[in-house]
Amino acid sequence: MEGGGSVSWIKYGPVVSLVVVLLALWFRPPQHAVLDDRLDTVLSSLLRAEQKVGVNNVARPRVAVGFGGCVDLLVDGVSLLNKIGLPPTDQPLHHNYIENAEQLAQSFAYFFAPGAAAERFVLNETLFSELVEASRDLPGNRWSVGGNAPVMAGRMATEGCDVLLGGSFSPDFTDVLSQHITVAGNAVEEPDIHLILEYPSGARWGPFTSRRANRYIVHSDDHNPYLASMEEFAGKLQGFNPDLLVVGGLQMMDNFPFQTGERDALLSRLAELLSASSPRLGVHFEMASFVEESIMQDLLHYIIPRSDSLGMNEQELPNLLSLLKGSNITVLSDPNPRVATVLDQMREVYRILNQRHRDSREETNSSEGKPLTRLHVHTLAFQAMIVTHGSQWKNTMSATAKASLTANRHVCGSNDIDPSKARLIMDDSFSVSRQEGSQRIPLQESRPVSCWDEEDYEICVAPVLVCTEVFQTAGGGDNISAAGLVLQI
């Protein structure tokens, strides 16, 4: 085990904690005091771990991020469904895409009860416009810049990077972007709208109660599925000379009614772009909610073998793994998985992808494709990373801490973390694997990020201070992934 922070504060941490505990015991019921103290210590230790390394503000890191973007319209999901008079279904069901209101009710119910993140294409444009119109005057609605690429770009610019963003935006959209973001892509009149149905933990819709806060997204994009900005982005890429290339937003192609061969042509063009960049340029691919098996196969063929780094959540990890093992798409997985389960899945994804890479090198005798050297999984309760020894990725411990803090900052909607609005849901200790006899690692409040070596890589796990007063869940993964990457370039 290593990492966790510098020595000086570790030495005095216990003394400070003891004083705080004693004081707290004096003023409050004992149960609370111990818990609060634990949380405060974890928070201050995570902050210290995050601050151990900084971003170079003089020579700002340069990051190119594609593709697409949209305006997000955020509403309370249940209020919207009530407003359009959609009665709760008695049959939660998975649909690959949404054709009518009944399917919307079934699909929403399917993910709402477990509180699992989901994103679906609405094929029926009439239905989609009705939903958007109803949302426009729903009390409490909010508009924001959305789409994986702009959100990641925004986070990276805020953290001190210069960003080239590939996307087609309307002029007023471009105006609200940070001055450190340069847009590559043609302007569009009508931006794509994504409708974000947010819900808190314990929300009720008919017979259903949500187990955790999350969101269900519907969209009916015209621009994003075609990666409309790709050529301009490609044209500016070399001149921009990035230190990192980030690809996201490809889920907008999922279940989109393309003409035959159209999607294949787009993804193979993107593969060409990735292959043409310098082999030393790190490529990060941010996964998302995919349910169409053929596009997942395309990603496994075109994109993932050309990526050095992958980011995903607890739903996307088992989905990818299932496909790598030759099984079907998994539409819904445990939204609160244990650390051991996630780590085992990560090890397997890492092993299989790198095995595939070695095999394809031998078969084709070409230097195309890259090994996977970084895998970041974000879950509600914790952040986990695998990083290959000797790879280009630096500061894994601090990056994991930063990812964890960003989770709280994003969901609570505030840069300052308020411990009274946070909760630790990770257990007091975790097992590093589900295999019998595996080591258990205690969660040490003063060294909350646990890092250790295995095989040819390092694993780091950090607990998340789960936000209890949710402002927004949508865009969380993008903010978290981007924040983690910033310290590793």
Ligand X SMILES: *[C@@H]1O[C@H](CO)[C@@H](O)[C@H](O)[C@H]1NC(C)=O
| Active-site amino acid positions | 478
Q: How far is the CB of 477 from ligand X (least distance, A)?
A: 10
Looking at the Cβ atoms of 373 and 400, the one nearer to ligand X is: 400
Who contacts 458 (Cβ-Cβ below 8 Å, separation ≥6)? 386, 387, 389, 396, 451, 452
Q: How far is the CB of 131 from ligand X (least distance, A)?
A: 9
Looking at the Cβ atoms of 169 and 430, the one nearer to ligand X is: 169
Looking at the Cβ atoms of 151 and 274, the one nearer to ligand X is: 151
Q: How far is the CB of 367 from ligand X (least distance, A)?
A: 9
Q: Are 370 and 283 in contact (CB under 8 A)?
A: yes
Q: How far is the CB of 52 from ligand X (least distance, A)?
A: 21
Q: Are 219 and 111 in contact (CB under 8 A)?
A: no
Q: How far is the CB of 453 from ligand X (least distance, A)?
A: 32
Give me the residue whose beta carbon is nearest to ligand X: 154
Q: How far is the CB of 319 from ligand X (least distance, A)?
A: 13
Q: How far is the CB of 108 from ligand X (least distance, A)?
A: 14
Looking at the Cβ atoms of 152 and 449, the one nearer to ligand X is: 152
Q: Would you tell me which residues interact with ligand X (CB under 6 A)?
A: 99-101, 124, 126-127, 130, 145, 151, 154-155, 328, 365, 409-410, 475, 479
Looking at the Cβ atoms of 33 and 287, the one nearer to ligand X is: 287
Looking at the Cβ atoms of 241 and 364, the one nearer to ligand X is: 364
